[in-house]
Amino acid sequence: MQTRTLGMSGLKVSALGLGCMGMSWSYGPPKDKAEMISLLRAAVERGVTFFDTAEVYGPYCNEELLGEALAPFRGQVVIATKFGWAPATESEAQGRWNALNSRPEHIKQVVEGSLKRLRVEVIDLYYQHRVDPNVPIEEVAGTVRELIEAGKVKHFGLSEAGAGTIRRAHAVQPVTALQSEYSLWYREPEQEILPTLEELGIGFVPFSPLGKGFLTGAINENTQFDSTDFRSTVPRFTEENRKANQALVDLLGEIAQQKNATPAQIALAWLLAKKPWIVPIPGTTKLARLEENLGAVGVRLTADDLDQIEKAASNIAIQGARYPAEMEKKSGL
C-alpha cells in the first residue's frame, strides 16, 4: 500500500483510508460486530493504516468497535475521530444527535470518552464534525491546541468547513486535514476549498468518495433502501434522480473498461490523481468491496484521462440535493 502525507503536518497514512460509519450506523441496521472486527483487521493486513470514526456514529459504539478491533495494532495505525454534536434531549427520539456543540468545556469533556472508547492515550486526528455557528472557530482551535499541548490529541482537523473558517482556525492551531464530501458527483470543493488547502498546506480527506455507494454501479433506480438507511431520505437518491444520475455511472463504466478496472476504482483513482495530499476514505462492510477499493491505488490515470473524465462529467447535470434540507443547513459550507 502506498502512503501519503496529509498536508505539511507530517501525518503519514495509507493512500486510501477506511470510513467506518456504516459498520454501526446510518447505512441500514448495525452490522455484526465480530464480522466488522474481522474486516477492520483484514484492512490492516492489506496495508490500510487510516481509519475514520466519530462519537456520534452509533452513538459511541463505532468508536468502541474500532477500539477493540485495532487494539493489537497500536502505533501502526492512525485513528481519526470527531467532536461537535450533543445528544438530543430526552423528549426526543433515542439515538438522535441534533444539536451542534463545540463549546470548549464540551470538547474537553467528550475527548475523554473518545480516548476511553478507542483504547488509546492520544487521538491521532481530532476533527470538529461540523462548524458550530454559536462558537467562534478561534475558540475551538484554541481548545484543541490545549488538548495537543496536554498530550491528548496529535492533530487538528475540520469537517465541511468553508474557506474563511479554515483560515481562521489555521491561524490559531495549524489544521492538518479537512474532511468534506468530494467525488465526481459532488465537486463543489474545487471552487474554493482545494486552492485554500493547497495554499495553507492542509491535507484533504474526501468522505463519500463513491457517492454513498452510487458510483460503484451497485445501485440503480430499482434499488430499495431499508428504512434505517439514511439514503432513503436523501433527495439525490429518489428513484427519479437515481435514474437521471445513472449517466455518471455509465461514464465511469466506459473508462473502467478501458483501464481494466471497475467504476468504483476509477472514481477513487480520479481523486487520488487530483492531488498527492488527497486521501479518500471509502466505507464498506464487505471484504470483497474493501479489496476492490484498495485496487484503485494501482489504477493509473494520465492527465489526458483526467481531462477526458472531467469534460464528460461536466456535461452531466447531477440531480437532487446531497442531503435533506435540514442537514444541508448544518453542512458548514
Question: Among candidates 29, 67, 42, which has minimal Cα distance to 287?
Answer: 42
CB 104 within 8 A of CB 88: no
Separation between Cα atoms, residue 135 and residue 244, nearest integer Å: 40
DSSP 218-268: ---TT----TTBGGGG-GGGSHHHHHHHHHHHHHHHHHHHHHT--HHHHHH
pLDDT tens across the length of the chain (333 residues): 999 999 898 999 999 999 999 999 888 899 999 999 999 999 999 999 999 999 999 999 999 999 999 999 999 999 999 999 986 554 444 445 568 999 999 999 999 999 999 999 999 999 999 999 999 999 999 999 999 999 999 999 999 999 999 999 999 999 999 999 999 999 999 999 999 999 999 999 999 999 999 999 899 999 999 988 989 999 999 999 999 999 999 999 999 999 999 999 999 999 999 999 999 999 999 999 999 999 999 999 999 999 999 999 999 999 999 988 777 655 443
Check residue 180 and give left, alpha or beta (phi > 0: left; psi -120 to 50: alpha).
beta
Separation between Cα atoms, residue 168 and residue 84, nearest integer Å: 18
Q: What is the CA radius of gyration of the chain?
A: 19
- Can you read off the three cell numbers belonging to residue 60? 459511541
pLDDT at res. 290: 98
Find how far residue 12's CA is from the centre of its chain.
17
CB 289 within 8 A of CB 23: no
Helix/strand/coil for 43: helix
Pairing between strand 85-86 and 203-207?
A: unpaired
Separation between Cα atoms, residue 320 and residue 298, nearest integer Å: 32
Question: Among candidates 131, 132, 135, 139, which has minimal Cα distance to 163?
Answer: 131
- Residue 13 Cα distances to 49, 132, 277, 319, angstroms: 6, 28, 10, 34
- Can you read off the three cell numbers belonging to residue 324? 435533506
CATH number of 3-210+274-299: 3.20.20.100
Give the active site residues.
57
pLDDT at res. 26: 87
- Can you read off the three cell numbers belonging to residue 88? 438530543
Pairing between strand 99-100 and 85-86?
A: antiparallel
CB 83 within 8 A of CB 47: no
DSSP assignment, residue 139? H
Q: At what angle do helices 104-118 and 61-69 cross, to 10 degrees?
A: 40
Q: At what angle do helices 263-274 and 303-314 cross, to 10 degrees?
A: 110
- Can you read off the three cell numbers belonging to residue 296? 484503485
CB 178 within 8 A of CB 193: yes
Pairing between strand 153-159 and 123-128?
A: parallel
